Each structure stands twice: as C-alpha cells, then as structure tokens.
Amino acid sequence: MLKPIKILLALGLGLVSTAQAIAPTEADLKALQSRLDAAGTRITRLQDLTDVEIVQNAYGYYVDKAQWRSLSELFDENATLEIGGKGIFTGRARVFEYMNVGLGPIGPRDGLLIDHQQFQCLPTILPDGVTAKARCIAWVMSSGGWGHCYYENEYIKKDGVWRLKTLHGPFNMYSGYKVGWVDNVITNTFPEKFPPWPDLPPKVVYLAYPSYYAEPFHYPNPVTGKPMPAPSPRAGGEAFGR
C-alpha cells in the first residue's frame, strides 16, 4: 500500500511543481481534451457492462411474475427469441406471444412458482460500443422442479439505451423435484409440442441432459485469446473417453 502512495504523490506533486512555470499551449489543451475523451469512452464501456447486465437480470425478475408486457419491452422491436428447441420468434409482439401463450397468461398465479434466477452473467461490449453479447445462466426453481439453461444473447444500444436484440436460451438440464436429475428429465422443447408455432426453425437441433450440447462461447479464452475448440464428436455418448 505504501509504495504506490509514494509513487502517486511524487507523480502528482511533481507535476504541479515542475509545470508551475509553463503555461499550457493550445496544443497542450487539445492533447488534454483527447485524453479526457479517451477516458470517457473507457468509463462508458464499464457502465455499459452494468447496463447490459441490468437488462438481462430485469428479464429474470419479469419471468418470475409472468410480467410479459414489461418483459417484451426489454426487446428491440425487431428482436428474436429462441428458447430450448422451440424455434425462433421474431419481433417484440411474438416475444410477448411466446410467453403469454406458451408459458401462461400474464400475471402471477398463486400456487405456480416459475422463478428464473439469473446467474453468472458474462457480458462483452463489442468494439463499436453499440452492440454487446452475454453468456448467462437461468437457474429455474419452479412448481415443476428444476431447470438450468444458458443464454447467449445479443444486445444493442439505441438512443443511448441497451436492449435485447437476440435472446437465445439453450437448455442444459430440466428435471422434476422428487428424485432430481437422476431420472425423469426433459431433454428439450420442440416446435410442435405446444403453441404458438415458431416463425423460423431452431438455429440448431440438440438434446440437453443426459445428452450433451455445448453452446458456443461468444468470447475467446480470456487468457490465451484462442477461440473455443470443437468438442469431441463422441461427447454425450458412452464411447467418449474410451
């Protein structure tokens, strides 16, 4: 702790005393202005990370109480939504319909718990500063039991406000309560099982636990910078590792 104080004090006071005699030129002020601008961009990126996470976390609280109107307002009007294996729904109105028809009518219903807890959010602001991605988890505690799904979502900043552009929620594990995931798991939802029907087919067809599916990471390895390696084609089978 002591060392950095000394360094910083030396830096700060040193600048004051040595610069005392030298008044800034116009070029100096210009340089200072661009340094301030750069700092502003940097700080805004930090705020953006929080703002993106707020949109995602707000989504979870709205699901809890079936507040579909508020929930759909988190989406851009041209946004898409794809959850489980149900296919893609395009536009804010269809997001509302997916929830209101597929999950149940608007508003909380006594005796029906659908808590969608948002965990482990890992947001990334892209270099353009107006698009972002995030990987997150929904850990579901519902009247029916457990659910664990990822999100790999995209966000855009329009009129200074971050909003959902693409919500993609691949399932990892859904099970009942009594014996947990040792048995009685649901491997996915499907376009034809319940209305409404999707606008577009699923982006990828896969089965969740006890099978294996690894939703691609939107980010490279934070240390090596390398992209995600492809999983083994045997992953999810008994032959894996043999």
Q: How far is the CB of 196 from other proteins (least distance, A)?
A: 21
Q: How far is the CB of 130 from other proteins (least distance, A)?
A: 15
Question: Rounded to whole angstroms, how far apart are CA atoms 226 and 157?
Answer: 27
Closer Cβ to other proteins, 3 or 195, answer by number? 3
Task: Provide the 3-class DSSP secondary structure of residue 25.
Answer: coil
Q: Name the residue with tokens 């991605």.
A: 133
Question: Rounded to whole angstroms, how far apart are CA atoms 182 and 162?
Answer: 40
By C-alpha distance, which of 3, 5, 23, 25 is closest to 13? 5
Closer Cβ to other proteins, 13 or 205, answer by number? 13
Q: Which residues are paired to 175 by β-bridges?
A: 146, 185
Q: How far is the CB of 197 from other proteins (least distance, A)?
A: 26
Q: Which residues are paired to 157 by β-bridges?
A: 162
By C-alpha distance, which of 66, 148, 54 is closest to 99? 66
Q: How far is the CB of 206 from other proteins (least distance, A)?
A: 12
Q: Are 101 and 196 in contact (CB under 8 A)?
A: yes
The neighbour count for residue 224, using CB atoms within 10 Å, is 7
Q: How far is the CB of 86 from other proteins (least distance, A)?
A: 22
Closer Cβ to other proteins, 54 or 200, answer by number? 54
Closer Cβ to other proteins, 83 or 164, answer by number? 164
Closer Cβ to other proteins, 87 or 138, answer by number? 138
Backbone angles phi, psi at 187, to 5 degrees: -80, -15
Closer Cβ to other proteins, 39 or 200, answer by number? 39
Q: How far is the CB of 191 from other proteins (least distance, A)?
A: 25
